[in-house]
Amino acid sequence: MASKGNLTKVRLTESMLQLIQTSGYSGTGLNAVIEHAAAPKGSIYFHFPDGKEGLGVAAVELAAKQFETLIAETAVSAGGAAEAARAAIEALAIIVSESNFRLGCPVSVVTLEMGAESERLRQACATAFESWITPTAALLEANGLRAAEARSLATVIVSTIEGAVIVSRAMQDTQPLASAADIVAELINQRLESAGRTR
């Protein structure tokens, strides 16, 4: 069972993550995090001695784990790589839509805002993206692609999803995500079919 202190740390991280999604990293103050988490005032510096940057890194790591879990779950439940990618994108579309287009990818938000300002945050974001590219590449490789091609295609897929989330939020319409799902699934099937012919 988690201790009270650990539960507070988790609440602070979850609150930071939610606030980054709605207000951005720069627009999220520590007082807002404390209020959102209903945490004691001194708790942030107790759990995150380096303050906002450390809390931001924890939030990015949490976001990475959440999407990594989504990838793993869709890979298990879907019939193949194309279906898994489509299911993951459709799940993201539901999240974006149900939040009234207020929630997006916090990793892209932090990258755009702080990538040139904080090497620690940039590295955390790079690690997060890598944690999504690697299992996607592994799934594509398991479905018949060679390692280098699987890695390249996985990078394109993650990049496409990130862009589609941003455009969907701007337009307040999930159509960009729906289009991304169609194109990504088609691309995967084409690559897998081509790989089958050349083997």
Domain boundaries in the chain?
A: 60-198
Q: What is the pLDDT of residue 98?
A: 95
Contact 142, 133 (CB under 8 A): no
Q: What is the pLDDT of residue 77?
A: 85
Architecture of the domain made up of 60-198: Orthogonal Bundle (1.10)
Q: What is the pLDDT of residue 41?
A: 84
What is the amino acid identity at position 97? S
Per-residue pLDDT tens listing for the chain (199 residues)? 456 668 999 999 999 999 999 999 999 999 999 999 999 988 999 999 999 999 999 999 999 999 999 998 988 888 789 999 999 999 999 999 999 999 889 999 999 999 999 999 999 999 999 999 999 999 999 999 999 999 999 999 999 999 999 999 999 999 999 999 999 999 999 999 998 865 4
Q: How far apart are CA 65 and CA 108, in angstroms?
A: 15
Q: How far is CA 51 from the centre of its chain?
A: 23
Contact 74, 90 (CB under 8 A): no
Q: How far apart are CA 132 and CA 75, in angstroms?
A: 12
Residues 6+ apart with CB under 8 A from 184: 82, 85, 86, 89, 157, 160, 161
* Tokens at 139, concatenated: 């799934």
Tell me if the pTM is above 0.85: yes
Rg of the chain in Å (alpha carbons): 18
What is the amino acid identity at position 57? V
* Tokens at 127, concatenated: 């690690």
Please state the length of the chain. 199
